[in-house]
Amino acid sequence: MFPKLILVSAAFVACNAMHSFGPLSSKHGSFNVYYLYTRSSLNPEVFNSSLASIQETSMIVSRNTTIIVHGHGGTGFNTLNPTVKDALLRVEDADVIIVDWSQYSLQSYSNAVNAVPSVGTYLGLLINQLVEAGVATLDTIHIVGFGLGAHVAGYAGRGVNGHVARITGLDPSGNQWGTNSNRLRSSDAKYVEVIHTDGFGLGANGIGTNLGHTDIYANGGEGQPGCLFSSACSHQRAWELFAASLTNNHLNAHFCNSFTEMRFNRCRGFLIPIGTNAMVKFGSGVFRINTGRRYPY
């Protein structure tokens, strides 16, 4: 017990010294639950951020690590988690970590927003510990966050000085983030890609603003085909498109010369693949993809 305590406090001191971690005084993130899925573990391995716990899992450094973070109203077992996890494991022998922060995400939207900084900060600590334990490197970590989870990913990335390989923000939440300087931003990872699906209009769940290196607006970033003006449906489409991009290769977006071109469906620039599991991606700017109404879109 004693040596473990020293390790944990040493990690906290080191992190505070780097000034890279946010509000550790808030303990929301201490309720995070982490589940590991691999091709060979049918049942998830539950672990925490202690080195001993991490080393008991079957995580190995030679596999890429994808960390999935749900949004408001989500848990470790619903919305994007089963679909994205299964699609990832189908295409790659990866370590997939699902973050469950349902202790707060199932509360009111405002309570969930309040928990985001701490949930993300603790996730950043976990990432540091994964590296410390030798089961992952920052170059092989990709954080995928949906809704509020995209901002959690931002905090986590900042916690490791923006050195994770990639963050994918799936329709990052807009409500209470429009003027929040701590929202997901491009300096949070080496490459930050954002897929916008419900960014505009009354009651939009997403943010209609560029946040990443590349900002991809599906069908103009609102009113997804087949969603019949349902904002919730358009919001979820972000992870449905991401999951489809893992197993299909037709989802390519055109570069737009301007935001106006994007909104008016005038983008004719070069094409980039949206989503995918590639650890290293390039590109910057605004892109638009027009999709079909049902899988694989």
Residue 233 has which token pair?
């449906």
In 3D space, the residue among 162, 166, 168 whose CA is nearest the CA of residue 149 turns out to be 168
CB 153 within 8 A of CB 130: no
Q: Among residues 53 and 75, whose Cβ is nearest to ligand NAG?
A: 53
The contacts of residue 82 (CB under 8 Å, 6+ apart) are: none
Q: Does 56 bind ligand NAG (CB under 6 A)?
A: yes
Q: Does 61 bind ligand NAG (CB under 6 A)?
A: no
One of 15, 29, 63, 119 touching ligand NAG (CB under 6 A): 63
For residue 132, how many C-alpha atoms fall within 13 Å in the half-sphere facing its CB?
19
> Is residue 192 within a helix (H) or strand (E), and if so which, with residue range?
strand 191-196
- In terms of Cβ atoms closer than 10 Å to its own Cβ (0-12, 13-18, 19+), residue 5 is exposed
Q: Does 7 bind ligand NAG (CB under 6 A)?
A: no
In 3D space, the residue among 172, 155, 193 whose CA is nearest the CA of residue 279 turns out to be 193
Q: Among residues 53 and 107, whose Cβ is nearest to ligand NAG?
A: 53
Q: From residue 199 to residue 218, what is the string marking binding to ligand NAG with x (rule CB under 6 A)?
A: --------------------
> Which segment (57-65, 149-157, 193-201, 264-272) binds ligand NAG by CB under 6 A?
57-65
Q: Among residues 73 and 283, whose Cβ is nearest to ligand NAG?
A: 283
CA–CA separation, 112 and 102 (whole Å) = 9
Q: From residue 86 to residue 115, what is the string marking binding to ligand NAG with x (rule CB under 6 A)?
A: ------xx----------------------
One of 52, 60, 232, 271 touching ligand NAG (CB under 6 A): 52
Interface ranges with ligand NAG (CB under 6 A) = 48, 50, 52-53, 56, 62-64, 92-93, 278-280
